[in-house]
A = this chain, B = another copy of it.
């Protein structure tokens, strides 16, 4: 207390918020996940990679190696574009790409935010799957997009419906997760991929392909990325490819180092560099160097380990679902990734059921927040990535009981 400062401020902070801030909201999931942290709860809710599979020893060795090799440079300011050897490695995965086509970001979430920032003006039409990744909605939302939902079925986006939408709405961007989508676990078929790339090119709509799970295919054959198809469509010229690609090490290595990237034409990457300079200067260089140590040997090994585990867990969960869920409950059977999607009879509401499931010791994510325009009250996302066989057995059984009770 100083006597020289007599007046007291009374700032109405909320009145100072921008219109942009007014479009932000607390993630429903975030609040809900807090309830699922109790150890006795079997949680199929969080989208957490399996921690017991993390290559901790390799990370420790890499951390020590980069401190030895780079010394202070490992913890000094770095370039906004990202650590060159990492960008070189990423570029080398796709013929025709150079490091200039790659921007390192602090988790793929940052890539979504920065792309939203440089592309979306208030009222711009953004095409999204219904349902879609709610984190993408959170990234785009502050910039005031007008969402138009694309109908999806078991093979992903319905491309016939897409053409109608493209005719009706001059869209800026189409956001899609073609591989083992979050939240549905569905995969866009090859035929539809080709048609999607063709149609969006024809209508001049940018595509943002979000692909955190692409390498985690445990069943069926790998399909070419939209980015690769876009590149073919552009005659192999990266500067004319209308598909932007968001990749990540979060699901194949570890999420907590926050290392991901965006690849696209120079013009987009150069603008992203400007956006990123203002957003966080650069992604921690130490973390990028650690990841770079791991990409050659540890990453491919790790992908095999994670695929095998998630494949077994998915098969296990699907088996238990078949065994226990009552008739009338539909579910997807993913070929990779971390999630499957459950659709209850129309009359049921998974948000209302949530406390009852929790009482039975099991948690999930209600599907509603994954729909940009509402709906999906009778849907839910289940994650099998970090669940053991006993948890899957008990959790699915508890869910089945919850459904049965509600369907009576």
Contacts and interface: CB of A to CB of B under 8 A. Distances in A.
Contact of A280 (B60, B63, B113): B113
Contacts of A250: 77
B172 A118 contact: no
A280 B256 contact: no
A265 interface: yes
A174 interface: no
A234 B8 contact: yes
A54 B77 CA distance: 12
A41 interface: no
B76 A121 contact: no
A255 B110 contact: no
B271 A17 contact: yes
Contacts of A241: 9
A342 to B, nearest CB: 23
B281 A107 contact: yes
A180 B142 CA distance: 35
Interface string A105-136: 11101101100011111001000000000010
Interface stretch (A20-28, A96-104, A311-319): A20-28
A1 B284 CA distance: 38
Interface in A5-53: 5, 7-11, 13-14, 16-21, 24-27, 30, 46, 48-49, 51-52
Contact of A278 (B5, B17, B109, B257): B109
Interface string A272-297: 01110111111111110000000000
A138 interface: yes
A93 interface: no
Contact of A206 (B11, B120, B198, B255): B11
A56 B52 contact: no
A78 interface: yes
Nearest to A241: B9
A51 to B, nearest CB: 3
A194 B7 CA distance: 12
Contacts of A67: 56, 59-60, 63
How many monomers of this protein are in the complex? Answer: 2
A286 B253 CA distance: 14
A18 B113 CA distance: 13
Contact of A2 (B107, B118, B232): B232
Contacts of A277: 27, 30, 109, 135, 138
A8 B233 contact: yes
Interface string A134-169: 010011011100000000000000000000000000
A278 B113 contact: yes
Interface residues of A, number: 105
A375 interface: no
- Max chain B CB contacts within 10 Å: which of A20, A78, A143, A234? A20
Contact of A172 (B16, B46, B71, B233): B16
A204 to B, nearest CB: 6
A373 interface: no
A240 B5 CA distance: 14
Q: Which 6 A-B pairs have the closest CB atoms?
A: A51-B72, A9-B201, A75-B256, A75-B254, A21-B118, A24-B274
28 contacts: A1-B235, A2-B229, A2-B232, A5-B232, A8-B235, A10-B240, A17-B119, A18-B120, A21-B117, A21-B271, A26-B274, A27-B277, A48-B76, A51-B76, A54-B72, A75-B255, A76-B254, A76-B256, A77-B250, A105-B280, A106-B280, A109-B280, A113-B280, A117-B142, A142-B275, A142-B278, A257-B286, A284-B284
Given A9-B201, A9-B234, A142-B275, 14 more contacts: A7-B202, A11-B201, A13-B268, A16-B119, A18-B118, A18-B121, A51-B73, A59-B67, A64-B64, A110-B280, A113-B279, A257-B286, A279-B279, A284-B287
